[in-house]
Amino acid sequence: MEQQFNLRFSKNRQYIIEILESEKIPLCVDFIFEKLRLKNKSVSLSTVYRILEKLVINNTVVKTIFGDDLKAKFELNRQGHKHYLICTECNDMVPIHNCPIGEIEKSLQENTGFYIKGHKLEVYGHCAKCHG
C-alpha cells in the first residue's frame, strides 16, 4: 500500500507537502502553484501536477472533485477529516468530524453483494456569514 514506485528526494515535493500540511482543507493546483511562487519556490505547473499524481498513487494525498467544479482538489490523507460542509456562496469548507456512514456500509454490503471500500460525502449549504 506504500510507495508503489521509487521516489527520490525532491525539494519541490517537500514544499508541496508542507503547503498541504499547513492548510487544513483541500487545495486546487492553482492555489498550490501560486503559494509556491509567493514563497519564491516557483515550480512549473506540470511538475506540480506530476508530484501530486505520485503522492496520490502513494496514498499520501487524496484527490477529490467537489460539487460540479471541473478542477481537482488535493489534501493530505490524514485520518478523519474526510467529509466537508461546503458553503455554496463563499466556498468555505468546514470538516465534518463524525462519519455516520460506517454502519450504513455494513447493511449495503449485505443487501447488494458489493464489497465496499470507501465513500464520499459532501454537505452543501449557506454558512452563518452568507445566510443573511
Partner DNA sequence: TTGGTTGCAAAACGTTTGCATGTGC
Partner DNA sequence: GCACATGCAAACGTTTTGCAACCAA
81 is an interface residue for DNA by CB under 7 A: no
One of 40, 71, 113, 132 touching DNA (CB under 7 A): 71
- Asked if 39 and 15 touch (Cβ cutoff 8 Å), the reply is yes
Q: Which does 46 bind (CB under 5 to 8 A by kind): DNA, a second copy, none?
A: DNA
β-pairing verdict for 61-64 and 27-28: unpaired
Q: Does residue 69 touch a second copy according to CB under 8 A?
A: yes
CB 76 within 8 A of CB 20: yes
Among 64, 76, 77, 81, binds a second copy (CB under 8 A): 64
Provide the grid cell at 37.
511562487
- Judge contact between 61 and 78, C-beta under 8 A: no
Chain CA centroid to CA 34, Å: 17
Size of residue set near a second copy by CB under 8 A: 38
Indicate whether 45 belongs to the interface with DNA (CB under 7 A).
yes
- Residue numbers at the binding site for a second copy (CB under 8 A): 63-65, 67-70, 72, 85, 87-88, 94, 96, 98, 100-101, 104-105, 108-109, 112-128, 131
